[in-house]
Structure 1
């Protein structure tokens, strides 16, 4: 067997690049910095070109990309003072309950490429998407929420994370998915990974484009109003939903 298709891709340069990306993706669950580095590595090239094309197909998203909108930092103290049930208040309550801080990345004086801006905006709004979609902010919900931007704009870093998660699961998974299994075992199964990726893409396809939304200018609006306007159908049950986290539930009811 000649493996002619693989041989055309398996140059030493391509293999080294692939292994470097896999190493970053494989460690993303333990160190978020890996995701930022993965985004940087994939900020140019064919995959980012396809992502940019997907964004430019939607007029509002194309305008956002051209404008390079940044918005103010996400300040928890300010957000917690917003009306109960608002997007900002809920976002701040959810993050505070689990001891998270918002992604407030350093804003460059100038975004040199479309890919650099797309990376910035995706990372800054990532936890907002957790709140909008209902996916938990731990590893149990991560594949679901990143698959939303995979489904909408084919964002390269998240697409690669999805693929590597399935690849690693293929080699390491030793259990069949069962809804009744222990939570600690769920995320190791291929069935669970496929479910979250598929569900995230379904949410993406049903929803209006999320990339062009200036969330910072609408934090005071009710969360449910945002969901209805954008047709986001959140997950509200199961271990992959932040709605089932006791700490978050108590924080929202306080």
Structure 2
């Protein structure tokens, strides 16, 4: 109980928007996101791995590279990377799933070709669920299936299409959550998709 109170206090007092990852990690700790032993084993390769992401540098990479396309995606959608501060290093280290899921979420959008609409979000979520990342995401996908068509009725057809597409991509692709995307910013996005068993967008 004391730890949960501490996490709430940290959330309420966190004003450092340069480290949005801190907020996501604290929320995950508060609500107890858990993964299976099989998924935890796959994530050992990225335990404590969260190099800072600098959009200004990535935006200077050649068009078609992962880094440049990710930077474009973030800038167009007015988003910031989920960097984690040294103050939360210990929490990030033992909650590898929460760390990698929040850090790679927008990388997934770029990699998989889903935009940030309700339809795009359900596509990314369907991939995560198909790859069996966590039970909480399965519940989240069920809620999204019910809620998103009501929130965006004009996207209804695309929502259901992306749900199906995301499930198919999740089956075909390598286990994406343990991949060190940050070491491949300069790689061709098309080649990266091929190497991860993903079809061209």
Q: What are the Cα deviations for residues 198-219 of structure 1, in whole angstroms up to 9, with x where unaligned?
A: 2212101101111221111111
Distance 1:120 1:143 in 2: 20
Distance 1:144 1:39 in 2: 25
User: Segments of 4+ in structure 1 off by > 4 A?
Assistant: 33-36
Matched-pair contact (CA < 8 Å) for 2:131–2:175: yes
Following superposition, the deviation at residue 62 of structure 1 comes to 4.3
Distance 2:69 2:180 in 1: 17
CA RMSD of aligned residues (A): 2.8
Matched-pair contact (CA < 8 Å) for 2:123–2:166: yes
Matched-pair contact (CA < 8 Å) for 1:130–1:145: yes
Q: What are the Cα deviations for residues 61-96 of structure 1, in whole angstroms up to 9, with x where unaligned?
A: 2432xx514232111101011122110011001211
Is residue 128 of structure 2 the alignment partner of residue 149 of structure 1?
Answer: yes
Task: Report the counterpart of residue 201 of structure 1 in structure 2.
Answer: 167
Is residue 186 of structure 2 the alignment partner of residue 220 of structure 1?
Answer: yes
Is residue 44 of structure 2 the alignment partner of residue 63 of structure 1?
Answer: yes
Task: Report the counterpart of residue 137 of structure 2 in structure 1.
Answer: 158
- Structure 2 unaligned runs (5+)? 1-22
Number of residue pairs matched by the alignment: 178
TM-score (norm 1): 0.61
Task: Report the counterpart of residue 154 of structure 2 in structure 1.
Answer: 186
Q: What are the Cα deviations for residues 47-67 of structure 1, in whole angstroms up to 9, with x where unaligned?
A: x243x42343xxxx2432xx5
Distance change in 2, residues 1:206/1:90 (3 Å): same
Is residue 107 of structure 2 the alignment partner of residue 128 of structure 1?
Answer: yes
Distance 1:169 1:138 in 2: 10
Task: Report the counterpart of residue 61 of structure 2 in structure 1.
Answer: 82
- Match of 2:89, SS? coil
TM-score (norm 2): 0.75
Judging by fraction of residues, say which structure has more helix. Answer: 2
Q: What are the Cα deviations for residues 229-251 of structure 1, in whole angstroms up to 9, with x where unaligned?
A: 001225x5xxxxxxxxxxxxxxx
Distance change in 2, residues 1:113/1:213 (3 Å): closer
- Structure 1 unaligned runs (5+)? 1-32, 174-183, 237-254
Distance change in 2, residues 1:69/1:168 (3 Å): same
Distance 1:217 1:169 in 2: 34
